Structure 1
Amino acid sequence: MDLFEQIEGQPRNLLPHDGVVNYYGAIMSPGLADIYYQNLLNTIAWKHDQAVIFGKTVTTKRKVAWYADHPYSYTYSKVTKHALPWTAALLELRELIQEKSGEEYNSCLLNLYHDGNEGMAWHSDAEKDLKRDGAIASVSFGAERKFSLKHKTSDENVSQILQHGSLLVMKGTTQTNWLHSIPKTKTVYSPRVNLTFRYIVDQ
C-alpha cells in the first residue's frame, strides 16, 4: 500500500464522504492465505443460499455458511438462518481481524463464489439484527474480485480489487449511505471465499 494512503498507520478511507471503508490489503503471507483457503473450502458447512423475491424462494449457485458465539437467528432476504459453532480456523481468523481492525465481532457470514459467473447484487448490510453503524470486516481468499460501492443518493462509485488474504472493513454510516456489490465477470474461473465478520445484537 502506498505510504500516502495511510494516516498514522491506518489505511485511508476509500469513501469520499458519508461512511468509512478501510482497505488493509493482504494481512498475511500468500502461503498462510493458501492454507486458510483450502481449510475453508473443505471444512465449512457450505449450503446454497436462498432468498425470497416477489414471494418466491430462489436458490442461488453461490453457497453460504454462518457461524457465531451463540446459535443466533439471522434474517436477510426474508430467509432466517441459525448460526453454527465456530471452527478452529474461524476463531484464529477472528482473533487476527479483531487485532487488525480494533473492533469486536461475534459472528461470521461466509460466501463461496465458484467463479466469476457468481456475484452479489447491490445491497447494504443494514439488517435489524446487526449492531447499528457497527464494523463489518470482509476477508477474502482465492480469486481476486472487484468490490464496488455506490452512494445511495449521488450514485458516486468507488471500486477496489480484493486480494487473496486481504482485509476490508466497513463501519460508521457506510451501510446507511452506500450500497456495495461483487460484480459478475467472465475473466475469473476459480473460486473465492469471503468471510464477513459482524456483531449481532444479543437476542
Structure 2
Amino acid sequence: MDLFADDTSLTPIPLEDGELWFQQRLALDLAPDEVMRRLLAETDWRHEQIHVWGKWHAQPRLSAWHGEASYRYSGKTFHPQPFTALQRHLRQAVELATGRRFNSVLLNYYRDERDSMGFHADDEPELGPEPAIASLSFGAPRTFILKHRSRSHTLKLALGDGSLLLMAGTLQRHWVHGINKERTPRGPRINLTFRLIA
C-alpha cells in the first residue's frame, strides 16, 4: 500500500503493531533548500564501515552522529560530535511538533539514487523498549518502506523535502524499515533521525 499525505500537522497513519505519524512539511523559519545547503556544508560526513553477516561493508551512503551520547549498532560504537547550531534548531522544531525529547541525531546523506539503507529496526537496548524515532528529510524525495516482521504487510511513504515522520510505540519490535536503491535518477537527500539515548 502506498501512503501519501498533504497535511501540515503531525497526523497518525493507521498501523497495526506500533505508532506511525507523518507531517508533509515541518514548520521551520528556514527554507528547506537553505537547511539542505547548510547541512551539506556544516556536517563532517563519513563513509562508515559496518559489520553485517560476519563481514565489514562500506555503508551505501555517508553519515554523521551528533548529540550527547554514544550509540552502538552493526558491530560498531559511534561517539558523538556536538550538536551544531542548526541541528539544535531543527531538534527544537521536531520536539515541538512531536511532544517528545531527543538527545542525539543520526544524519544520513544519500548522494543519489544508488545510495540506500538496508532493512532494519532501531531496536538497540539503549533506545529503550518502545523508542520514539523522529525522521526529518531534506532534498530529493525517496520512498520509505516498512515491512512487518511476521505478516505480509508493507507500507510505502514518500518522504519529501521538509517532511517529518515519527515512529513510536512497539513499531520497532514488529516492523523493519529501509530505503531501496532506485533506477530513476535522484538528487541528493539528507535525513536526520532524532533519538533519545538512555
Give the TM-score of the pair, scaled to structure 2: 0.92
RMSD of the alignment, in Å? 1.9
Match of 2:42 in 1: 43
Match of 1:127 in 2: 124
| Identical amino acids, percent of aligned pairs | 38
Q: How far 1:14 sits from its partner (Å)?
A: 4.4
Match of 1:94 in 2: 91
Match of 1:52 in 2: 51
Partner SS for 1:48: coil
Q: Which of 157-166 and 29-38 deviates more?
A: 29-38
Whole-angstrom CA distance in 1 between matches of 2:136 and 2:24:
10
Match of 2:152 in 1: 155
Asked whether the 8 Å contact 1:144–1:164 carries over to 2, the reply is yes
Asked whether the 8 Å contact 1:150–1:179 carries over to 2, the reply is yes
Residue in structure 2 matching 1:184, options 149, 161, 181: 181
Query: 1:1-203 to 2 correspondence within 5 Å?
Result: 1=5, 10-15=10-15, 17-28=16-27, 32-68=31-67, 70=68, 72-201=69-198
Partner SS for 1:96: helix
Whole-angstrom CA distance in 2 between matches of 1:88 and 1:177:
35
Task: Tell me how many residue pairs correspond in the alignment.
Answer: 194
Q: How far 1:149 sits from its partner (Å)?
A: 0.4
Q: 1:30 to 1:188 in 2, by over 3 A?
A: farther
Whole-angstrom CA distance in 2 between matches of 1:52 and 1:172:
27
Query: Where do 5+ consecutive residues of structure 1 fail to align?
Result: none
Looking at secondary structure, tell me which structure has more strand per residue: 1
Whole-angstrom CA distance in 2 between matches of 1:26 and 1:164:
7
Give the TM-score of the pair, scaled to structure 1: 0.90
Query: Where do 5+ consecutive residues of structure 2 fail to align?
Result: none
Task: Specify the code of the residue in structure 2 equivalent to 1:118.
Answer: D
